[in-house]
Amino acid sequence: MELKGIHHVSAITAKAPENFKFYTNVLGLRLIKKTVNQDDTSVYHLFYGDEVGNPGTELTFFEIPMAAKNHEGNNSISALSLRVPNDGALSYWAARFDEFGVDHEEVIARAGRKTMAFKDFEGQRFILVSDENNKGVSGGIPWEHSPIPQEFAIRGLGPVKLTVPYAEATGGVLMDVMGFRKKGSYPSEIEGQPDILVFETGEGGSGAEVHVEERKDLAPERPGRGGVHHVAFRVDNEEELRKWIDHIKQSRYPNSGFVDRFYFKSLYFREPNGILFELATDGPGFATDEELDHLGESLALPPFLEPQRKQIEARLKPLNTKSQ
């Protein structure tokens, strides 16, 4: 068994319509699935990605309309990354962010790659990562109807950064339970703090890395809008997921057991510092209930929610996509 890389990340927004505008109009991602939170059908669960929502490109948001602002801190997924083709693309994005008033930092090196940190309209923390010399998991294929030129477009998810009080505990789970390898480290941007540790899985590269920052000086994060809910890692298929479920149980980690999310199958568990991990299958994918040319245009519901469609649609605010 081997995890193939990052599958998706799920974050929190308080404003789904504004979220849709930012991630499609400013970042140029494709809305590949407009559905609802299966645990609270009164709010959206939005999925963005490449042209078809390939695993490793999926950025998702749970809408929580009354969510307070995220208070950054420890025991958290403290930054998400998005891959761009090369170093030159970072200059394009710096100019675009200036044009749209997006808060961003200067280009600096992280883990041997050129990067640029930025935040969305709710303070969600991102890092653009250049794939100039990336060797490892391939990126996705940008949507041809994106407002971003193909040569600069986002190609998927890059490293996920975790901030924890005990890096050894998280690293132990990554290596001893999940099969990651320790790749190296790079200096913290905070003076006096330990180096940030880099772990990789599968073919490696920016699409298969977790970066672990140890901070003993921070209070635990208080999640809210602009925070990250969980990170999911790629499992090849359902048969292999079942093996992982047995493995996690034998490792004595409390877990969700098998969960059917319709577009993929999953397992959830928390590592020792409290961060929620998911293992998710590569398929069946987002074209299961919609044609590829029309992904994300209409409200998609899994079969068990279809009988409630009228009531669900009545509670949702339109996102102003082609149809609702």
pLDDT in tens, 90-148: 999 999 999 999 999 999 999 999 999 999 999 999 999 999 988 899 999 999 999 99
DSSP string, 68-115: PBPB--BSEEEEEEEEESSHHHHHHHHHHHHHHT--EEEEEEETTEEE
The pLDDT of residue 324: 36
pLDDT the model gives residue 322: 52
Is the per-residue pLDDT at 302 higher than 90? no
For residue 47, the SS3 value is strand
Summarised one tens digit per residue, pLDDT across range 66-96 is 899 999 999 999 999 999 999 999 999 999 9
The one-character DSSP state at 295 is T
User: Does residue 273 contact residue 165 with C-beta atoms inside 8 Å?
Assistant: yes
pLDDT band at 269 (very low <50, low <70, confident <90, very high): very high
Percent of the chain with pLDDT over 90: 90
Q: Are strands 125-130 and 76-84 parallel, antiparallel or unpaired?
A: parallel
Q: In order of start, what are the domains of the chain with their CATH numbers?
A: 5-284 (3.10.180.10)
Structure tokens at 271: 């590592």
Q: How many Cβ atoms sit within 10 Å of the Cβ of residue 66?
A: 7
